[in-house]
Amino acid sequence: MGYFSRFAVPHPSPAIYASMIAIAVTVFLIIAGITYFKKWIYLWDGWITTVDHKKIGIMYLISALLMLFRGGVDALMMRAQLAVPDNKLLDSQHYNEVFSTHGVIMVLFMAMPYIMGLMNFVVPLQIGARDVAFPRLNAVSFWLFFMGAMLFNLSFVIGGSPDAGWSSYFPLAGNEFSPHVGTNYYMISIQIAGIGTLMTGINFLTTILKMRAPGMTLMRMPMFTWASLTTCIIIIFAFPVLTIALLMGTMDRLFATKFFTITDGGMDMLWANLFWVWGHPEVYILILPAFGLFSEIIPTFSRRNIYGYTSMVASMVLISFYSFLVWTHHFFTMGQTAYVNSIFSITTMIIAIPTGIKIFNWLFTMWRGRIRFTVPMLYCLAFIPLFTIGGVTGVMLAMSAADYQYHNTMFLVAHFHNVIIPGVVFAVLGASTYYWPKMFGFVLNEKIGKLAFWFLVIGFCLAFFPMYITGLDGQARRMYTYSEDTGFGPWNMVATIGAVCMAISFVLIVYMIYYSIRNAKKEAVSDPWDARNLEWATHTPVPEYNFAIIPQVNSREAFWDAKYKGHPLFKGDYEKIHMPNNSGVPFLMSLFFFALGFGLVFSMWYLAICGLIGVFICMAHRSFEQDHGRYISVEEIKETEAKYGGTHK
Amino acid sequence: MKVDHSQPLEYSTEQNRLNILGFWIFLGAEIMLFGTLFTCYFTLVNRTSDGPIGAEIFEITPVLMETFLLLTSSFVIGLGIHAMRLGNKKAMQAFFILTLLLGIGFLAFEITEFITYYEEGATLQTSAFTSILFTTLGTHGAHVSLGLFWGLFIILQVRKRGITPVTANKSFIFSLYWHFLDVVWIFIFTFIYMKGLTQL
Ligand code: HEM
Ligand SMILES: [Cu+2]
């Protein structure tokens, strides 16, 4: 019993036991289902071992949606607890765990993979490439993210969840104040997923720099590709900082080092600094690709080219640079001098300038455009005003003297949800609707999509605008309850109603997918929106080699100009195409990483060492393996292309 | 695979060029990684609590030996790459083996150095200073150890498969890695040891 008691959840409740049973039943049903329908081989050959960027992208999206559900349940629990004063639904410990996992899951295991998934699917198509620079590494990235997410979610039923917030400040996150394994899960699962993200950054930067179609100069790249490029650069500079911070945090917890302790010279503020040196760029890692997606959708549905291309690019580059110079604004109240605070106040406000430029460019793109109010476009239209409010409240927070009033209140919570939901979530939902036909060959139902959109927008406003008010009145964030006479009650009830609307919207989205799978016309249209960039120049569904002939680019909107100005895109004849082979090793390696992580969380050293050795064996195997890929012959290409009715020329 | 003969072997295919660029970008991330460690080191260096300060535990002889061994190995691997470009497989292998032997020598000195620290009572847990000292040195040492295995694999592959576009590419990338570790060591030598020794 002694050995297994370490796996016990420290604060069990009926809800947790119920979830344990639910998880066990679901896992059993999935396994039974796959076996019954004889899908194991299909899964293994078609998905688990794949190195195809399109399939990897789709796997990211599916995982992200699952995590959105998990994080959303956390959110509903928090809102249920706060709906009325002096509520007893959750105790303080549970509330702590719920807001901690909510934050981590939404930022690292929902928003990040959602963005990564769209990048995976879209970027190679947009630049006219056949795959990414390192397809095998791409699979490794995905599986590391996936196992990191699984490990993190396991904490809920085995050993207990982290409870020190998504920012996990020390000394609270140290052994003394967080004795159970929850924070170990935090440190290690984010580490595993983070390594995957870093590899994605390197992979896509190389891809974008080196694999663009002939004629696509840097200043002819589509906006989303530009956004991805700047994002990759931020990832490459920011994630190593997180790697080190998590390493030091892990060592403090597992090996009693003295980095962030209060005794023996440790320095808790070092964690706060490292965390935000990564953390602020991280929010821009999320928002820049989202900006890129809006810049794809808005021109398409306005029938206008993007206004101010050069200034769009310049502002993204500036944002990625400034994003490293503002981290202190997250702890203005934590002891720097007024001089230091002022500097960071100013740098923070400066970031709002390039962001504002982008807002105006989108508006000018729509100006005199012929706007079609499709679901993706609705998300863009809602984004602009709502995000602007979020940005303005950001500038309010950026005034360091005033921040003493706002900091760690619901006002701050309202700010960052106000930028992340209309910014990132609207972008990825809009973009999923936009790219859905390219991925799956049919258009999602507009009616249900619009209904879901309205529920989301109204739900969002109801859920978060009241927090600005209660925050200014002093309602602290991360507090599990408040008393009646604070007067926060009614506003919190409104916020909870808003959260329910957002949940309904999520249900509608799932229903929309289900409904469309059953009812949509499955005619494979390759360009359903009359769009402008190369990703729409291929067939639908996209053949594994993407383009039978690599396109020739000689303008910023090559596909548009091919359609309407008669520029030929695909010149020359078919040639045999080199493709990478599938491999099960990335998946296997991620399993070893999982074992390593699980072993570390519970200080089960034998398991950890076995996992580590397994990881090394996979790397050694990769070194010795001779894998020259395979060729798709000209006959095969001709056959495939004929099935699609020929290459568009 | 199209082979471009006007380029050195390690750059001769498209995938090779991608690999080299990708690795340079990876080294960029590594610079951030060690940069963060150094920043933390500078932040924590004076937080010694009851433990020793650098000058009390650092010894110049092993550090000079380590520096000598690692710098030499970096030079030798350069010779190895030169031999590879000349197509001299034997010389290349010899230089690579010598590189790894020097690397092993480096690690041996580093490990004895760590043992001495422990004997003198400076352990990983003593103070914030010793924690960051061991972590920074250890991260570099772990990179060297990993490099030993990687280098060994490459030697075995060159032996079996000869100098091909693939093995040449791998060897070249490995040499980048090895030089990089050398650069990091120069920073460690200067800013940890030299600065630490002159602290008194
Ligand atoms: C106009 C641009 C922006 C400005 C001036 C700004 C400013 C700030 C400031 C000063 C804080 C710290 C407030 C405090 O802790 O008291 C903050 C927090 C935050 N911001 Fe922003 N922000 C901006 C845009 C964004 C964007 C685009 C995102 C994400 C996509 C974002 C996400 C966050 C998050 C997640 C936090 C809080 C983290 C936490 O404490 O848990 N912000 N922002
Ligand atoms: Cu920030």
Interface confidence (ipTM) of the complex: 0.95
Residue B28: its pLDDT value, please? 96
- Summarised one tens digit per residue, pLDDT across range A74-91 is 999 999 999 999 998 888
- Summarised one tens digit per residue, pLDDT across range A189-212 is 999 999 999 999 999 999 999 999
Residue A172: its pLDDT value, please? 94
Contact A312, A297 (CB under 8 A): no
Residue A514: its pLDDT value, please? 94
Rg of chain A on CA atoms, in Å: 25
Q: Which amino acid is at A496?
A: T
Phi and psi, residue A368, nearest 5°:
65, 15
- Summarised one tens digit per residue, pLDDT across range A293-325 is 999 999 999 999 999 999 999 999 999 999 999
Q: What gap in Å lies between CA A649 and CA A577, rounded to an integer?
A: 19
CA distances from B185 to A390, A408, B110, B137, B194 (A): 46, 42, 12, 9, 12
- Residues flanking ion ligand 2, Cβ below 5 Å: A 280
**For residue A617, is it within any domain?**
no
Which chain B residues have a beta carbon less than 8 Å from that of A203?
22
> Which atom of ligand 1 is nearest to A397's Cα?
10
Which chain B residues have a beta carbon less than 8 Å from that of A241?
32, 36
Which of B 67-96 lie inside 8 A of A, CB atoms? none
Name the average pLDDT for chain B.
94
- Burial zone of A646 (CB within 10 Å; 0-12 exposed, 13-18 middle, 19+ buried): exposed
Which chain A residues have a beta carbon less than 8 Å from that of B156?
624
Homologous superfamily (CATH) of B9-197 is Cytochrome c oxidase, subunit III, four-helix bundle (1.20.120.80)
Contact A362, A298 (CB under 8 A): yes
Which chain A residues have a beta carbon less than 8 Å from that of B21?
133, 206, 209-210
Q: What gap in Å lies between CA A344 and CA A326, rounded to an integer?
A: 5
Q: Where are the beta strands (DSSP E) in A40-118?
A: none
Tell the residue nearest (CA) to atom 34 of ligand 1. Answer: A416
Question: Contact B153/A270, CB-based, under 8 Å?
Answer: no
What's the structural domain count of chain A? 1
- Nearest-10 crossing angle of helices A53-82, A135-154: 20
Ligand 1 site residues (CB inside 6 A) read: A 167, 283, 286-287, 329-330, 348, 351-352, 355, 391, 394-395, 397-398, 403, 406-407, 412, 415-416, 419-420, 423-424
Residue A524 has pLDDT above 80, yes or no: no
The sign of the CA dihedral A200, A203, A206, A209 is: negative
**For residue A601, is it within any domain?**
no
What percentage of chain B has pLDDT greater than the value 90?
86
- Read off the pLDDT of each residue in B102-120 and give the average, rounded to a whole number: 95
Residue A462: which domain range? 4-583+627-643
Residue B145 has pLDDT above 70, yes or no: yes
Rg of chain B on CA atoms, in Å: 19
For residue A254, the chain B residue with the least C-alpha distance is B125
What percentage of chain A has pLDDT greater than the value 90?
79
**For residue A110, is it within any domain?**
yes
Which has the closest alpha carbon to A413: A460, A456, A471, A349?
A471
Range among A148-162, A537-551, B8-22, B100-114 rated most confident? B100-114
**For residue A608, is it within any domain?**
no
Q: Which of A5-14, A445-454, A597-606 has the weakest average pLDDT? A: A5-14
Residue A383 has pLDDT above 80, yes or no: yes
Contact A276, A328 (CB under 8 A): yes
CATH number of the domain residue A347 falls in: 1.20.210.10
Which of A 99-138 lie inside 8 A of B, CB atoms? 133-134
Contacts of A438 (CB under 8 A, 6+ apart): A121, A125, A526, A535, A536, A540, A541, A542
Q: Does B16 touch chain A (CB under 8 A)?
A: no
Six-digit token pair at A22? Answer: 């639910």
Q: What gap in Å lies between CA A306 and CA A402, rounded to an integer?
A: 37
Residue B93 has pLDDT above 60, yes or no: yes
- Read off the pLDDT of each residue in A262-288 and give the average, rounded to a whole number: 95
Q: What gap in Å lies between CA A406 and CA A418, rounded to an integer?
A: 15
Residue B154: its pLDDT value, please? 96
Straight-line distance from the first to the last Cα atom of chain A, in angstroms, rounded to the nearest whole number: 70
**For residue A171, is it within any domain?**
yes
Residue A288 has pLDDT above 90, yes or no: yes
Q: Collapse the DSSP code of B53 into the 3-class scheme (helix H, G, I; strand E, B; otherwise coil) and give the result.
A: coil
- Burial zone of A639 (CB within 10 Å; 0-12 exposed, 13-18 middle, 19+ buried): exposed
Which has the closest alpha carbon to A135: A636, A640, A629?
A629
Which has the closest alpha carbon to A187: A146, A248, A240, A144?
A248
Contact A567, A558 (CB under 8 A): yes
Rounded to 10 degrees, the C-alpha dihedral A107/A110/A111/A115 comes to 140
Residue A627: its pLDDT value, please? 83
Residue A37 has pLDDT above 70, yes or no: yes
What stretch of H or E contains A375? helix A375-398
Taking the CA of A277 as reference, the closest ligand is 2
